[in-house]
Structure 1
Amino acid sequence: MAPINSSNMELHSQRLLEPDLPVQVRLQLVMEVRDSLEMTHTPDYLNFLRCYFRAFSAILSTFTAPQGTENAEHKLRNVVIEILNRLPHSEVLRPFVQDLLKLSLRVLTQDNEDNALLAIRIVFDLLRNFRPTVEAEVQPFLDFVVAIYRNFKFTVKHFFDNPNATVNVVAPVPNQHLDSIGDAPGMMAVPGGGQLNPSAQSFKIVTESPLVVMFLFQLYAKLVQTNIPFLLPLMVEAIAESGPEKVPPHLKTPFVELKGAQVKTLSFLTYLLKSNADYIKPYENSICSSIVKLLVTCPADSVSIRKELLVGLKQVLNTEYRRGLYPLIDTLLDERVLVGTGRVCIETLRPLAYTLLAELVHYVRGDLSLPLLSRIIYLFSRNMHDSSLTLVIHTTSARLMLNLVEPIYEKGVDQQSMDEARVLLGRILDAFVGKFRTLKHTIPQLLEEVEEGKERPNLRMKLEVPLQTVLNLQPPLEYTKEINDYKSLIRTLVMGMKTIIWSITHAHWPRPQQQSQQSSNIAAQPFRGLREDEVLNSF
Structure 2
Amino acid sequence: MASPLSPHDVTGQLTTFRSYVALIADPTPGIVEKKLKAAQELSENFENVVISPQYSQFLGEALKVFLKILDDGEPQFIAEQNMQQLRKLLLEIIHRIPSNEHLKKYVQQILSLMFKLLKIENEENVLVCLRIIIELHKQYRPQMNEELQNHHLSKIFEPRSQIKVKDVTEVNVDTILAETFTTTTILTDKKNADNQNISYNIIPRGVLSLKVLAELPIIVVLMTSPSFNKEVFVDFIAAQIKTLSFLAYIIRIYQEQVQQHANHMVSGLLGLLEFCPQEVAHLRKELLIAARHILATDLRNKFVQCIDKLFDEKILIGSGWTTHESLRPLAYSTLADLVHHVRQALPLKELSMAVSLFSKNVHDESLPSSIQTMSCKLLLNLVECIRAKSELENGNGRELLMRMLEVFVLKFKTIAKIQLPQILQKCKQTPQSPTQQPAALTDAKQNVEVKVEAPKTPTVEESKPPMTSSSSSLLGDTATKDTEKAWTEKVGERSKACRHEKLWKMENLV
TM-score using structure 2 length: 0.50
Which one has the largest radius of gyration?
2
Question: Please, what TM-score do these two structures have when normalized by structure 1?
Answer: 0.47
